[in-house]
């Protein structure tokens, strides 16, 4: 695969406006990127742009139920092809090549696939075990609980007990194999009791947090919710939603998160950060999130923004090396 020279340098366009990416204060790590899900761009192009923007580590996802691959080897071959093409482009651009030695993936079934998972659990677990044998597989994810009716895609939440059983099964697999896990937790609209987080907290208490680590991916809750999971030793990953003007509570949680438990992510192609909210997100855009959150926390705590950014990178590398 040969790519045309990139017009994207260190700016991002939104309609007729261009926004310059902040100069990173430390290496950047995107701990949750859906490379298989882009709408209008290729993963290879996005990876090459990420390398130019200071991203030095990235974790993508493979879901044996939701993704359009016949088998794990098919996904793995696809990923290898994308990495090779992106490296070729980066070499032509004169970009740093560190990223391409630090791309990992997680394997797991999203809670949307809970019913399917439970109907053929042994088969899917075999696929996940096969993935875990690959040296680029860094853990299990994204798994968890989603109690929200997705009106955009007309996806009804699976029964809660089925979702919990699906989560427990994959959580056990992570613990058995000594690998970290990433959790997707989303409450139903208007649920002040935060049922998905409440049930996940109980599951982690009962079954134990995997010793290799547990990440709450795409955290969009408040400080009291975050504090409960801090107490379990979980990592918290903050993405573009934390930069939205209305989400002061998420920024408050980020500022209070123990420094050795913070992570950044894009969840691309979803939830691009301010000031480019609404565009198709990609890993290079994590620079906006890291810069905004590091400076916001620094104003609250007196820490140096560079130290905050470096901590997030170090945490990611320790988890997903």
pLDDT at 151 (0 to 100): 66
In contact, 209 and 234? CB cutoff 8 Å: yes
pLDDT in tens, 9-62: 588 888 888 999 999 999 999 999 999 999 999 999 999 999 999 999 999 999
Q: What is the pTM of this model?
A: 0.95
Partners of residue 184 on adjacent β-strands: 144
Across 255-285, b (16+ Cβ under 10 Å) vs e yields: bebeeebbbbbbbbbebbbbebbebbbbbbb
Q: Rounded to an integer, what distance in angstroms lies between the CA atom of residue 258 and that of residue 271? A: 24
Residue 7 has pLDDT above 80, yes or no: no
Q: Rounded to an integer, what distance in angstroms lies between the CA atom of residue 99 and that of residue 127? A: 27
Q: Render 166-188 in DSSP notation, one character per residue.
A: HHHHHHHHHHHHT--EEEEEEPP
In contact, 293 and 259? CB cutoff 8 Å: no
Left, alpha or beta for 55 (phi > 0: left; psi -120 to 50: alpha)? beta
Partners of residue 139 on adjacent β-strands: 106
**Phi, psi (degrees; rounded to nearest 5) at 45:** -65, -45
User: Using alpha carbons only, how large is the chain's radius of gyration in Å?
Assistant: 19
pLDDT at 15 (0 to 100): 86
Within a 13 Å sphere around the CA of 131, how many CA atoms are in the beta-carbon half? 31
pLDDT in tens, 259-295: 999 999 999 999 999 999 999 999 999 999 999 999 9
């Amino acid at each position: 695969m040969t790519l045309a020279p990139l017009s994207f340098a260190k700016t991002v366009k939104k309609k007729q406006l261009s926004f310059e990416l902040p100069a990173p204060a430390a290496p950047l790590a995107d701990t949750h990127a859906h490379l298989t899900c882009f709408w209008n761009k290729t993963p290879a192009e996005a990876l090459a742009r990420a390398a130019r923007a200071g991203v030095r580590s990235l974790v993508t996802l493979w879901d044996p139920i939701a993704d359009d691959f016949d088998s794990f080897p098919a996904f793995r071959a696809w990923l290898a092809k994308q990495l090779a093409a992106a490296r070729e482009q980066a070499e032509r651009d004169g970009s740093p090549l560190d990223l391409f030695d630090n791309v990992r993936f997680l394997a797991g079934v999203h809670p949307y696939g809970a019913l399917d998972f439970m109907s053929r659990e042994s088969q899917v677990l075999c696929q996940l075990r096969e993935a875990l044998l690959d040296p680029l597989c860094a853990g299990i994810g994204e798994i968890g609980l989603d109690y929200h009716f997705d009106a955009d895609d007309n996806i009804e939440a699976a029964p809660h007990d089925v979702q919990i059983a699906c989560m427990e099964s994959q959580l056990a697999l992570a613990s058995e194999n000594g690998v970290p896990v990433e959790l997707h937790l989303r409450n139903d609209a208007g649920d002040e009791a935060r049922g998905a987080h409440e049930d996940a907290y109980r599951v982690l208490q009962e079954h134990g947090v995997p010793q290799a680590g547990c990440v709450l991916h795409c955290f969009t809750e408040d400080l009291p919710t975050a504090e409960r999971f801090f107490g379990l030793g979980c990592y918290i990953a903050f993405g573009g939603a934390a930069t939205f003007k209305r989400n002061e509570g998420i920024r408050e949680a980020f500022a209070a998160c123990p420094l050795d438990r913070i992570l950044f992510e894009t969840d691309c192609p979803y939830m691009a950060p301010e000031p480019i909210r609404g565009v198709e997100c990609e890993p290079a855009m994590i620079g906006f999130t890291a810069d905004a959150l590091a400076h916001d926390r620094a104003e609250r705590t007196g820490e140096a923004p560079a130290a905050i950014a470096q901590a997030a990178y170090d945490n990611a590398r320790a988890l997903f090396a």
